[in-house]
Amino acid sequence: MADQEILERIAAAVEDVEATPDAELGWTRHREPAKNPTAVYSVRIPVERIEELRRLAAERDVAPTALIRTWVLAQLDAARSPEDYAQRWERDVAATAEQLRKLLDERPGAPWAQVS
């Protein structure tokens, strides 16, 4: 559908609504249900911590709500299967430590670096 056609449809809908402000609006259901339906849940966070949340989200280039969602889902996963979560965490830490060792070994001037 072309942009102009969309704009014309929107304009026509606005005119229709403005012409009949007291008319009952009809609702159209989606034809297919969402694959992973979501819900909105309010959470109170102390005001002084909101800026901290926004700063962390900006550093990670994500929206604060996405960061909160990621944290909550991770904690739910951990609560549901703590053994799996602990094993995955240990594997991640071991992989990170191995990567850090490699980076240190490749560092120029490292005393343990091979001299050619």
The sign one gets for the Cα dihedral 44, 46, 47, 53 is negative
- pLDDT, tens only, 63-83: 999 999 999 988 888 788 777
Prediction pTM value:
0.45
CA angle 47, 69, 58 (to 5 degrees): 60
35-63 mean pLDDT: 91
- pLDDT confidence tier of residue 18, bands split at 50, 70 and 90: confident
pLDDT at 60 over 70: yes
The pLDDT of residue 105 is: 84
Q: Max Cα separation, the chain?
A: 85
- pLDDT, tens only, 92-116: 999 999 999 888 888 777 665 555 4
Which is more confidently placed, 49 or 29? 49
Is residue 73 within 8 A of residue 66, CB to CB? The reply is no
Is residue 63 within 8 A of residue 57, CB to CB? The reply is yes
The pLDDT of residue 56 is: 94
